[in-house]
Amino acid sequence: MENSPFRQIVSSLDGLREILPPPSGISVDKVLTYIDVHVRRFIEFSPYVIVATADRYGVCDSSPRGGEPGFVRVVDDRHLFLAEATGNRRADTLGNILESPQIGMLFLIPGYEETLRLNGRAVITQDPDLLAQAESINGRPPLLGIGIEVNECFLHCAKAAMRSSIWNPMGWPNLQAFPSAAEIFRDHMGGAIGDASVMNIQALLEESYTKRL
Amino acid sequence: MLEMPLYVKVDAVSEEANNIRAYRLLALDEGPLPEFTAGAHIGIVMPNKITRYYSICSSPRDRRHYIIGVQREDQGRGGSKLVHDSVRAGTMLKLQAPRNFFALAPSGSHVLIAGGIGITPILSMAAELEARGQDFQVIYRTRGREFTPFARVIDTLVACGRAQLFDQQDGPDFGKLLEVPSKDRHVYCCGSPGFMEHVRDACSHWDAGQVHFESFSPVVAQAGDTAFTIKAQQRGTTFKVAADQSILAAIRENGIGIDSVCENGTCGTCKVRYCSGEPEHRDSVLNPAEQREYLMACVSRAKSDLLVLDI
């Protein structure tokens, strides 16, 4: 990194382990290589997952997916299926999977402080049976899906959720002090959208959020 | 999470008295809330990770809502101020589901004694006893009308001869009121630490199983508290408990894990067996027989210089 503001870079595993001792037995032993009853239930309860992928150069991306609880389907004790909405058609995730099959998923259940981490290998599939069973998106069956083969999965502890109060409404910020998405888009895109007024962008977003959800 | 939280939304807030507000809480789906028994409390999980406990004052037979009363304590630990300042109709709260360390006896007659904001559990108990058709009497002492929450409910209880209201100055005479214990009679008391101490003195000759106290006040060091030494029998270690430190805090400081909930000697969670030494019991949960074997680590101290605990 040129002109990096960072000093005292730790650049070897030995160096890291001097500062951070190896993990405890629990942190290692909790890892499963298959989907057990608890992992299955977690996925069935989860309406929201953050999907991490990388391209052939290791350039990373993470992107959220959401649906009814259980929208990610447990196919069997080694496989999941995630139907793809067309989204913004950037296809960052799908493009990455074509270049590198590794995928990391972080499943959330609102109000539940532990999260489920699941890592594996992904393919893009048009399997007609799986697509037919998937939740329709915007009134139409999905065109594509991601098939995931599980390598490891485990429950991640609640500390981050507890520290952040993310599931405690009393700890939520006052959003009146935060700009709306329309204001942020206006500033990020200059004049490139509609007549570039916040009201116009708000109307476009509302249309997208209601008619093409 | 160790215990599943209960999410609710605040449906209505009312000014009940000087510095006291009532909050009506509904399930997010507006369906029935989890069951509770009269005298139970919920915990509001605050953003700073501490939990503050408030008695439910509505009837346990009505699970459409929980009503709690919160008195703003400007000198307090901040929980009640945060509730008053930030909780409005529509606010969602993360709760610890109801628990009860102040339950009614299943039968007999009941004397319910409250001081100030301590009326909150007493109201759910009165509603339950009314529904059961058991004999009860509410004795309520406040600092006058503008400091009396839930005045309409209390007026109704007074009107049907179920409650007596006292101003701080005019009694009642607890010594006289509680002079004669009776086999099937139970006394329940909730109020400030000083008020409860006063009532406790007045029924010191009662069977411990017939008197019940509920306290939400933090434990405060008392004048004359001194340091002493703890020996952890199972581990063979010895450590000091400072004059202003609890046994519980000292145990934890020395890396011994021990569960606690109320931390004011009410719930019984941090019960520890002692092997030798003479404890000074300050709890309101153990009976005398239990006190010969156990102590509550959150509030108890030692009369002897050394206390040997079975930990």
Q: What is the per-residue pLDDT across A143-155, written as a single tens digit (0 to 9) for each?
A: 899 999 999 999 9
| B156 belongs to a structural domain | yes
Model pLDDT, residue B155 = 94
Chain B residues within an 8 Å CB radius of A112: 1
| B84 belongs to a structural domain | yes
Model pLDDT, residue B103 = 94
State yes or no: pLDDT of B308 exceeds 90.
yes
Residue B1 to residue A171, Cβ atoms within 8 A: no
B35 or B167, which is more confident? B35
| Rounded Cα–Cα distance for residues B46 and A168 (Å) | 8
What is the tally of structural domains in chain B?
3
Asked which of B168, B185, B214 is the last residue of a domain, the reply is B214
Residue B47 to residue A168, Cβ atoms within 8 A: yes
State yes or no: pLDDT of A167 exceeds 70.
yes
| Each residue's pLDDT tens digit, A31-49 | 999 999 999 999 999 999 9
Claim to verify: residue B209 and residue B113 sit in the same structural domain:
yes
Average confidence (pLDDT) over A106-114: 95
Chain B residues within an 8 Å CB radius of A165: 47, 49
Joined tokens for residue A27: 């942190």
State yes or no: pLDDT of B1 exceeds 60.
no
Q: Is A185 helix (H, G, I), strand (E, B) or coil?
A: helix
Claim to verify: residue B209 and residue B114 sit in the same structural domain:
yes
Q: Tell me, what amino acid is at A159?
A: K
| B39 belongs to a structural domain | yes
Most confident of A187-191, B22-26, B141-145: B22-26
Residue B239: give its domain's CATH number. Answer: 3.10.20.30
Q: How many CB pairs under 8 A join A and B?
A: 35
Claim to verify: residue B94 and residue B121 sit in the same structural domain:
no
| Rounded Cα–Cα distance for residues B214 and B300 (Å) | 17
Of the candidates A170, A75, A82, A155, the residue with the CA atom closest to the CA atom of residue A112: A155
Domains of chain A in start order, with CATH, are: 13-164 (2.30.110.10), 173-211 (no CATH)
Q: Tell me, what amino acid is at A158?
A: A
State yes or no: pLDDT of A96 exceeds 90.
yes
| Rounded Cα–Cα distance for residues B153 and B22 (Å) | 13
| B124 belongs to a structural domain | yes
Residue B44 to chain A, least CA–CA distance (Å): 9
Q: Which residue of A has its CA nearest to B4?
A: A112
Asked which of B99, B127, B162 is the last residue of a domain, the reply is B99
Residue A169 to residue B92, Cβ atoms within 8 A: yes
Average confidence (pLDDT) over B51-69: 95
- The whole domain housing B198 covers 109-214
Claim to verify: residue B53 and residue B121 sit in the same structural domain:
no
Return the bridge partners of A155, or none: A116
Claim to verify: residue B130 and residue B207 sit in the same structural domain:
yes
Residue A114 to residue B49, Cβ atoms within 8 A: no
Claim to verify: residue B62 and residue B24 sit in the same structural domain:
yes
pLDDT category at A176 given cuts 50, 70, 90 is: confident
Angle between helices A198-211 and A181-189 in degrees, nearest 10: 120
Of the candidates B22, B103, B93, B21, the residue with the CA atom closest to the CA atom of residue B60: B103
Claim to verify: residue B31 and residue B77 sit in the same structural domain:
yes
Model pLDDT, residue B153 = 94
Residue A19 to chain B, least CA–CA distance (Å): 22
ipTM for the whole complex: 0.74
Residue B207: give its domain's CATH number. Answer: 3.40.50.80
Model pLDDT, residue B97 = 93
Average confidence (pLDDT) over B2-22: 92
Residue A11 to chain B, least CA–CA distance (Å): 34
Residue A168 to chain B, least CA–CA distance (Å): 6
Residue B45 to residue A168, Cβ atoms within 8 A: yes
Claim to verify: residue B95 and residue B113 sit in the same structural domain:
no
Joined tokens for residue B301: 């101290």
Who contacts B33 (Cβ-Cβ below 8 Å, separation ≥6)? B6, B8, B25, B26, B27, B63, B64, B65, B66
| B239 belongs to a structural domain | yes
The closest CB to that of A167, out of B49, B82, B94, belongs to: B94
Claim to verify: residue B114 and residue B210 sit in the same structural domain:
yes
In order, the DSSP letters of B126-156 are HHHHHHHT--EEEEEEES-GGG-TTHHHHHH
Of the candidates B211, B268, B214, B165, the residue with the CA atom closest to the CA atom of residue B54: B214
Average pLDDT, chain B: 91
Q: Which residue of B has its CA nearest to A113?
A: B1
Average confidence (pLDDT) over B169-175: 83
State yes or no: pLDDT of B249 exceeds 60.
yes
| B219 belongs to a structural domain | no
Claim to verify: residue B55 and residue B90 sit in the same structural domain:
yes
Question: For strand A79-84 and strand A144-156, is the pairing parallel, antiparallel, or unpaired?
Answer: antiparallel
pLDDT category at A27 given cuts 50, 70, 90 is: confident
Chain A residues within an 8 Å CB radius of B91: 169-170
| Chain B interface mutation, best of A170, A172, A175, A176, highest count of B Cβ atoms under 10 Å | A170
Interchain contact A164–B (C-beta under 8 A): no
Residue A113 to residue B1, Cβ atoms within 8 A: yes
The closest CB to that of B47, out of A111, A158, A165, belongs to: A165
State yes or no: pLDDT of A109 exceeds 80.
yes
Asked which of B42, B77, B99 is the last residue of a domain, the reply is B99
Q: Which residue of A has its CA nearest to B90?
A: A169
Listed range (A91-100, B52-61, B248-257) with the worst mean pLDDT: B248-257
The residues of B whose Cβ lies within 8 A of any Cβ of A are 1, 5, 7, 44-47, 49, 82, 86-87, 91-94
State yes or no: pLDDT of A55 exceeds 60.
yes
Chain B residues within an 8 Å CB radius of A170: 44-47, 82, 86-87, 91-94
Interchain contact A158–B (C-beta under 8 A): yes
Residue A200 to chain B, least CA–CA distance (Å): 30
| B93 belongs to a structural domain | yes
Claim to verify: residue B189 and residue B125 sit in the same structural domain:
yes
Residue B13: give its domain's CATH number. Answer: 2.40.30.10
The torsion angles phi and psi of A114, rounded to 5 degrees, stand at -80, 155
Interchain contact A173–B (C-beta under 8 A): no
State yes or no: pLDDT of B304 exceeds 80.
yes
| B1 belongs to a structural domain | no
Residue B4 to chain A, least CA–CA distance (Å): 8
Average confidence (pLDDT) over B218-233: 82
Claim to verify: residue B189 and residue B247 sit in the same structural domain:
no
Return the bridge partners of A169, or none: none
Residue A170 to residue B45, Cβ atoms within 8 A: yes
